[in-house]
Structure formats: structure tokens, C-alpha cells
Amino acid sequence: MRISILDRKEVLAAFCFLAPSLIGFALFYLIPFGQSIAFSFENPSEEAGFSLANYQSLLASSSFQKAMGNTFWFTIIGVPILIALSLSLAMLLNKRVFFRNWLRTSYVLPLVVPVASIVLVWQILFDWNGFFNYVLEWLGIDRIDWMKSDWAQGVIIFIYVWKNMGYNVILFLAGLQNIPDQYYEIADLEGASWTRKLQITLIYLIPTGFLVILMSILNSFKVFREIYLVAGDYPHDSIYMLQHYMNNMFLSLDIQKLSAAACLMVLCILVIVLILFRVEQKFRSFME
């Protein structure tokens, strides 16, 4: 197929507009990640050549195993809670309720306020002399050192859900408003129950749900910022995540292990993304 002069001009103009972004993406993402892959296969000894020694040492490390396990369980527990609460709030906001404006403000607030300032508020709430311990003491219950006990993971899940719920609610609201009203009108004419209407809603929200699940999983891998601000440099073992391990490797200048850990994390995320896209393709072909 021959490309006309007009098409070539359009392609050239599009490339010129995209060039700054492509150059920046290559300089700050592609090239550094390529170097990380090379560092991860670098021989830790002085001998030249590539080896899998960094990956073998990484997988045998108890610190890495603990970080991987905590990250896995955090994602398994936090993401379903986030999805369920976001969907419930979106379905509530899609209806006319008298406190809808207040709810809109509450879920948009975490998106517009800097996370550092908001997390400091949570730090005050869960401090030894914070609000929640004051309430427990008032109720005659012993104080809890929230961030240095098994409650730490629950606190971080709570902050993660609160921080990311607003974005998911916006996506779910967009999906709910794209569902044609005639489906519900037909259901009313047929005398369908509310459970049947809920099934209609969930079926047509599945494409949006895939995007929300994907974004929620990706955000769960970026929870290091909140944990660092709330728990400090050395958090409780239950909230020691992959980002903490990589940060410690960076501080000790162990670039090979840091690169290997980063590559494994990217590989895990890539596998999750491919599985979600595969399931979505199966669903689309089934609906068609």
C-alpha cells in the first residue's frame, strides 16, 4: 500500500509532537530499565560475563522472601476490599441520596491533597499518644502501639483503601453511567428482582472492573511512600514490602541485587497484566 504525501505529512507531524515525550520516556524509563536488566545479570565476582548468581542469592534471602510474602498478602487482602468498597460507594453515588454531595467531597479529597500532609494526619491518629489510643484509654482498654504490632498491616490497608478509593469510584461511576437505561426498564417490565438488576449491573461493569483491578494492583505495589511516612525507616515485619528491600539494597549500594529485585517485581506485574488482559479478551469474545 502506497502512502500519499498528505499521509506522510500527518505521520511526520504526529511524530514531531510525540518526540519530546518519547525522548523523555526513553531517557528516564527505557534506558535505565535496560541498564537494570544488565546489572541484574552481572557477575557479582570480579569475573567478566553474565550469571544468575544475583537471582539465586535474591531468592535465597530471607529478607526478600519476607518482603515478597508481605507484598503478596497485602495485595490479596487490600485489593478486594478496595474494589468492594469502591463499587458500593459508586453505586450509592449513582443514585439520588441526600448526602451525595458530602460523599463526593470525601472521596475526591485524597486525590487533590498531597499524600505527605494527609499521611501525617494518620500518623497522629495512630501514634502512641494519638486519637485512637485516647479513645481506647477512655474505654478502659490498654493502648496499642499500632505501627509496631500485628495491627500495622491493617492500618496500612486502611490508608491504602482510603487513598485510592476516589479514583476507583470515578472509574466505576463512568462505567455505571454508560449502562443503557433500557436494560433496567425491561427488567422492571419483566418483574425482575433487585438481585437480577444487580447482576445486570455487574455484567456490564466487567470491562471497567478489569481496569479498576489492574490500577488497584499497580497502586498496591507503590504503597512504600505511605508506609515510610507512617512507620519510618524500619517498619514492623508485617509491613516490610518489596520497596523496603529495594530501598535497603540501594542504601547499601548493592546495585546487582536491587536490579534483580526490580526485574522480578516487573516480571510479576507483567504476568498479572497479561492474565487480566487475557481474561478480558475471553470475556469480550463471549459477550460478542
CATH number, domain of 192, equals 1.10.3720.10
**Residue 6 falls inside a structural domain:** no
Helix (H, G, I), strand (E, B) or coil at 184: helix
Q: Look over the chain and give the mean of its residue pLDDT values, rounded to a whole number.
A: 81
Question: In degrees to the nearest 10, what's the CA dihedral of 188, 190, 191, 195?
Answer: -80
**Residue 54 falls inside a structural domain:** no
**What pLDDT is stored for residue 104 in this prediction?**
66
**What pLDDT is stored for residue 101 in this prediction?**
64
Higher pLDDT: 183 or 105? It is 183
**Residue 231 falls inside a structural domain:** yes
The domain of 272 spans: 62-287
**Residue 99 falls inside a structural domain:** yes
CA distance 202 to 83: 12
CA distance 189 to 184: 9
Q: What is the pLDDT of residues 202-250, one digit of tens each?
A: 888 888 888 899 889 988 888 888 888 777 767 888 888 888 888 888 8
- Does residue 86 register a pLDDT over 80? yes
- β-strand partners of 42: 50
**Residue 53 falls inside a structural domain:** no
Question: pLDDT-derived band of residue 47, with 50, 70 and 90 as boundaries?
Answer: low
Query: Nearest to residue 51, comparing CAs of 245, 267, 256, 262?
Result: 256
In degrees and rounded to multiples of 5, residue 77 shows phi and psi of: -90, -45
CA distance 208 to 213: 9
**What pLDDT is stored for residue 253 in this prediction?**
79
**Residue 16 falls inside a structural domain:** no
**What pLDDT is stored for residue 5 in this prediction?**
61
Q: CA-CA distances (angstroms) from residue 182 to 59, 201, 271?
A: 54, 12, 38
How many CB atoms are closer than 10 A to CB 234? 10
**Residue 4 falls inside a structural domain:** no
Residues 6+ apart with CB under 8 A from 95: none
**Residue 41 falls inside a structural domain:** no
Question: pLDDT-derived band of residue 1, with 50, 70 and 90 as boundaries?
Answer: very low
Q: What is the pLDDT of residues 93-113, one digit of tens each?
A: 877 665 666 666 667 777 777
CA distance 70 to 235: 12
Under 8 Å between Cβ of 197 and 179: no
Number of domains in the chain: 1
**What pLDDT is stored for residue 79 in this prediction?**
92
Higher pLDDT: 118 or 151? It is 151
